[in-house]
Amino acid sequence: MIQKLFLLFFLLQGVVSTSEKDSQSAIVRINTDRKVIHLIFSADEAFDGAKPILETLDENHAKASFFLTGNCLREKKFESIIRDIIRKGHYVGGHSDKHLLYASWDDRQKSLVSPDSLIADFRKNMAELEKYGIDLSQVHYFLPPYEYYNKENVRLIESLGQTVINYTPGLRTAADYTTPDMPNYKSSQELIDQLFAYEEEKGLNGSIILIHPGTQDIRTDKLYLRLGEIIRHLKAKGYTFERL
């Protein structure tokens, strides 16, 4: 009996050791012992890149994960592509119902939504997923809106039975939302160069890479249109692309 308990302990240690968390307790790397990459796409009211993204994933035999708000799921013009995403076996999870900002930009530990409001919004998001026939018992991961949160927000989501994730710190692809008029604007080429340089220096085992499938029209340089280039380069390095 004692030997079995020790075996279970070491097995669990192995599972835990293959993931990494950030300072707010969200998981930011999964399967760090393998050359696997998890592409994630988050969407609220803009989802113009969904079709080319799905086509690129098909062409490259890659699986990915989509995190959608209730706003996105309720939008009739997105219904067909969302059903295609589900049918093709990609992960679909929640990103809040109304795309709330959970925490203050000035003081991260200051929550901007009450526990009751966060929970109610989360449940509405899950209800919209369920309308697409998604089995909520298989929805294990949640991406907070704005990819921004604090420890208390994470604790609340975990109390509802899901694991909070975010993109791997140090990767800059999430800056694909920036527009040329912003001082922090990053072109797609800059983002790709940074990603590949990061891989050369630190590796991408278990990394979570976020690309936005919807950006402002003023940004004509869409990173999602270069997804195939990213996948092919990293596949040549020995990485596989898997859904969460």
The per-residue pLDDT for 195 is 98
Average pLDDT over residues 98-111: 98
The per-residue pLDDT for 38 is 98
**Structure token pair of residue 228:** 């195939």
If you search the block for the tokens 């050359």, which residue do you land on? 35
Task: Provide the pLDDT confidence category of residue 105 given band limits of 50, 70 and 90.
Answer: very high
Q: Regarding predicted confidence, which is higher, 153 or 15?
A: 153
The per-residue pLDDT for 10 is 41
The per-residue pLDDT for 14 is 43
If you search the block for the tokens 């709330």, which residue do you land on? 100
Question: For 163-186, how does the pLDDT look when each residue is reduced to its tens digit (9 = 90+)?
Answer: 999 999 999 999 999 999 999 999
The per-residue pLDDT for 201 is 98
CA–CA separation, 52 and 59 (whole Å) = 10
**Structure token pair of residue 149:** 């949160």
Q: ∠ at Cα 144 (137, 120), nearest 5°?
A: 65
Mean pLDDT of the chain: 94
**Structure token pair of residue 17:** 């050791």
Contact 133, 86 (CB under 8 A): yes
CA–CA separation, 96 and 65 (whole Å) = 15
Average pLDDT over residues 124-147: 98
Question: For 28-75, how does the pLDDT look when each residue is reduced to its tens digit (9 = 90+)?
Answer: 999 999 999 999 999 999 999 999 999 999 999 999 999 999 999 999
* pTM attached to this predicted model: 0.92
Q: DSSP 3-state assignment of 108?
A: coil
The per-residue pLDDT for 1 is 52
- For residue 198, pLDDT over 50 is answered with yes
- For residue 136, pLDDT over 90 is answered with yes
